[in-house]
Amino acid sequence: MIKENVRGILESLSDNVVLVAATKTRTVEEIKEAIAGGIAVIGENYVQEAERKHDALGGIVPFHLVGHLQKNKVKKAVRIFDMIQTLDSGELAMLVNRECEKIKKVMPVLIEVNSAEEAQKSGISPDQVDIFLSSIIELPHIRIEGLMTMGPFSQDEEAIRSAFKRTKQLFDHIGARYPQLSHWQYLSMGMSDSYRIALACGANMVRIGSSLFGVRERNN
């Protein structure tokens, strides 16, 4: 079933779109089935859970961190992940840079944008992204490759569309304004219920969980 779900979604995506399987709470067996169906990138939310799965899978696919990164987990996170999609503070950027320097790694990162401007959400407010970016652009051990956003916690398609459109505008604006960002390329937005809207708004990376694996238990 998982394999078929993956294939169905991959067939519907254009070639330039990266499908990230959002695998929080899923077992290693489920993840292996998704990989057999064609999944090439795993997205995990929690460092400890990701570490266990990363060890079990032996590095056959890259792991992206798509959940909030706590400062005390940075050291471990930079060893496991191939991209951090949720860079959302200058302090975190410094810590990631410092830990990566120690292991001689350059970490691809996306800046998380709070496109819905909901107070309880993490992410940089859209009008602060430019100044945030200029404050971290010189860090040698992070490589800024694009933006990630969750969008609003809402079923309101227009609210979702407007948050995604705004994020796409910001993505284009930054790409034009900072030509030195030579790896600027990813706009990560859209989940099971919203990825079609996100693609219509210009996303080229979508993070999908329940449409691949089935609905999760609540509270996960």
Ligand X SMILES: *Cc1c(COP(=O)(O)O)cnc(C)c1O
Q: Which of 148, 69, 163 is nearest to 111 (CA)?
A: 148
Q: Which of 45, 115, 167, 204 binds ligand X (CB under 6 A)?
A: 45
Does position 24 interact with ligand X (CB under 6 A)? The reply is: yes
Distance, in Å, from the CA atom of 91 to the CA atom of 51, rounded to the nearest integer, reads: 23
The yes or no reply on residue 146 touching ligand X (CB under 6 A) is: no
Structure-token match 């940075």, residue found? 74
Smallest distance from ligand X to CB 107, Å: 18
Is 214 in contact with 25 (CB distance < 8 Å)?
A: no
Query: What is the rounded CA–CA span in Å between residue 11 and residue 14?
Result: 8
Residue closest to 18 by CA, chosen among 139, 167, 198, 220: 198
Write each residue from 161 to 200 as x if it is in contact with ligand X (CB under 6 A), else as -, in one continuous string. ------------------------------xxx-------
Q: How many residues does the chain have?
A: 220
Q: Which stretch binds ligand X (CB under 6 A): 10-18, 31-39, 127-135, 202-210?
A: 202-210
Provide, rounded to whole angstroms, the least separation between the CB of residue 207 and ligand X. Answer: 4
- Tell me which stretch binds ligand X (CB under 6 A): 49-57, 118-126, 167-175, 204-212: 204-212
For the beta carbon of residue 189, count every other beta carbon within 10 angstroms: 30
Instruction: Report the distance separating Cα 64 and Cα 124, nearest Å.
Output: 19
Instruction: Tell me: does residue 207 bind ligand X (CB under 6 A).
Output: yes
Least CB distance to ligand X at residue 138 (A) = 28
Residues that bind ligand X (CB under 6 A): 22, 24, 45, 66-67, 191-193, 207-211
